[in-house]
Structure 1
Amino acid sequence: MKKTNRFLELLPRILKHEGGFVDHPKDPGGATNFGVTQAVYDSFRRNAKLPIQSVANIKYNEVSSIYKLMYWDAIRGDNLPVGVDYAVLDLAVNSGVHRAIRYLQLACGLKDDGIIGPRTIEAATTLPSGSLVQAIMARRASFVSQLRTFATFGKGWFRRINEVRAVALEDVGVA
């Protein structure tokens, strides 16, 4: 059963992993604040017809709007089962919406076109959620272990993957 206001429940979980302002020289995404890159923030502000400013100055209401519009809505989070929604959202935030949708589709045994449509939603809602979470997280772990920045960020990525997996499975009732 889908919980109401699920996005509002998941946002603090995501932000716990994302932290505050960071501009690590080895991070190819550059400066981020609450996990929002400068490029994403610039795009958001341009679309809102607001002046461009440093991501260091981002406000919580902007962070919430960005995560809702650019990640939650993009993965159709309201249509995904509890637990699967969190696994896919966290992956979208960390590694991109297209990749998150593709990994969900692969976990469902579908063609991975990166477009979340009726077939993906139907499969995600009929297959066992615990199995989907496990498959998505396994593929995610494999992906990050191959990144050139794994030596720098790998320990943190694996901690995050393991925490998200555990909480998503708890949400599913498979803890």
Structure 2
Amino acid sequence: MNSKRKLAAWIGAGVAPILVVALPVGPASAHGYVSSPPSRQAQCAAGTVQCGPIKWEPQSVEGPKGLKSCSGGNARFSELDNDSKGWKVTPVGSTTAFKWKLTVSHATSTWQYFASGRKIAEFNDGGHRPNETVTHQVNFGGLKGKQKVLAVWNIADTSNAFYACIDVNVGN
């Protein structure tokens, strides 16, 4: 009987690492992204544009505060920085609602929006923890035509932020 237990233990010890590697892994329960108008990572998650790992983790584009890249400096998601990837451009008005979908709420300092190399809007949350969705009305301030908007969610109690790029065509 003792030898059967030892054999079972050896088999279990040999099979366990294989199961850990072979079983599918669910998406990371990370943080948040712009869902409307659809950000680049939202387009990846929906299959609108073919992408790599960001397809499974649209909420995971996190990096140090102050960056100006769609990938948040994360090499795994560098394809988000590729402006020629075929991103769907959403027609919008001169003022547009940007809706964030949050999977984990963080104390928030600010939400920032950039287009044409300048900040076009900032919303100060003063450390507030937002709900599952957050919507901001952003005025493009006279910008027209195709714009790549960089939306940034700055976390209050860490040195990181979440990044999303949204391709829009600002109408008259």
- Taking structure 2 as the reference length, the TM-score comes to 0.24
| Larger fraction in helix | 1
Tell which structure's C-alpha radius of gyration is larger.
Answer: 2
- Taking structure 1 as the reference length, the TM-score comes to 0.24
| Larger fraction in strand | 2
